[in-house]
Amino acid sequence: MDDWLIDDDRLSIDRKSVLPGEGFFHPDSFAEAEKEREHREALAGAPAVVIADPDADGLACVALVRELVDEAAALVPAGPRDIETALDHVAAYAEPDVTVFVCDLCPDSESDIEPLAAAAERASEIHWFDHHQWDEALGEAVDEHVTRRVVGESDEECTADVVARSLDADVPEYLRELAAVTRDHDLWLQEDPRSDDLADYAYWVEPDEYVDVVREHGADLPPEVEEFLVDQRVEKEALIEKAIERAEIREIGDWTVGVTYGRCSQNEVAEALREQGTDAAVIVKPAGSASIRGTDAFERAHEVAGKVNGGGHPKAAGCKPDIYDDMLDYAHHWTTRGAVAKQVIVEAFHDVKREARAEDADEGVDTER
């Protein structure tokens, strides 16, 4: 396949909005081999390692560990679906008696933590910090192998908050503020404009660059970073507008749900749909995953995601429906703007609504709506 076919720089906003980024078209085997090489090099000689989600919250945890525990701590970036791989690489390539921190990650199944026992044998300590909704049995399985597991209340703390209060060290005020501003975005509080800057910057630059900058500046990013964000946001805003234009409104019982599709920043799209009167928003992505965002009127996003191969928080969750068997399914996904994924997720909303009605009936609550 010619490289120009997946070259993002040549695509119009219309086409870029409906197609995944060029990384999607690289075979998993290639990406996995490259990831293993990067992890092996990062772990070589490192006295500590942080396995963290490479978003603003996870990377704030890395900044805290490097500032307060060991500035030579290696970073192993890992999304929710990469926990098994990250633990496996630590078990295989980390130095003996390494100190391990797992941050902002919650296992969805037993397979995610299969290498944990081997990693624990390699490590002197494993500290697992998080703030997601944990399955009790998986939590108990993790507890068998880690030094400690600290899980904050998902509607009150981000993982950076958990790390800041859990490390046995005096946290500088500017890093406490970094955690607070990170929380503003991660819990979708939207009260501090700096939180969007942190989230965007974490998304657009390499993880180690983000960590270095926030270790030095905290939540107040320097002028050159602000200029970079302004330039990047021209395209970002255009992609947001495309997703908003495609949105459809679904009534599910007394919930009003906005459903849309596109490569975009999901939080801004969800906020725009909230302003239009929705209680929840679903943003289906070209790569096949979806983000589910709630409001004070809808705090069951993690329950919906849990029915569609995902999880998260009451007001913010993610999933990837298991509906893609081959590239024809993806081609259908792109040309129909995620029709099947939307249908599956809307059905999950209906399932959760039925369960909510049953709960209300058991408690004697009026369920007419």
What average pLDDT does range 343-367 have in this prediction? 87
- With CA atoms as reference, report the closest residue to 262 among 17, 23, 22: 17
pLDDT band at 369 (very low <50, low <70, confident <90, very high): very low
How much of the chain, in percent, has pLDDT values that exceed 70? 98
Q: How confident is the model over 96-112, as pLDDT tens digits?
A: 999 999 999 999 899 99
- Does residue 204 surpass a pLDDT of 50? yes
Q: What is the pLDDT of residue 312?
A: 86
Residue 71 in contact with residue 211, Cβ under 8 Å?
Answer: no
Q: Facing residues of 295 across strands? A: 298
The values of phi and psi at residue 72, to 5°, are: -95, 10
**Assigned CATH topology for domain 240-362:** Diaminopimelate Epimerase; Chain A, domain 1 (3.10.310)
> Per-domain residue ranges for the chain?
44-221, 240-362
The values of phi and psi at residue 286, to 5°, are: -60, -30
What average pLDDT does range 287-304 have in this prediction? 96
Query: What CATH number should be reported for the domain whose range is 44-221?
Result: 3.40.50
Torsion, Cα 158 294 197 6, to 10 degrees, reads 110
Q: How confident is the model over 123-160, as pLDDT tens digits?
A: 999 999 999 989 999 999 999 999 999 999 988 999 99
**Which residues are within 8 A (CB) of 208 and not within 5 positions of it... i.e. 6 or more apart?**
75
Q: How confident is the model over 320-344, as pLDDT tens digits?
A: 999 999 999 999 999 999 999 999 9
**Number of H-type helices and E-type strands within the chain:** 15, 11
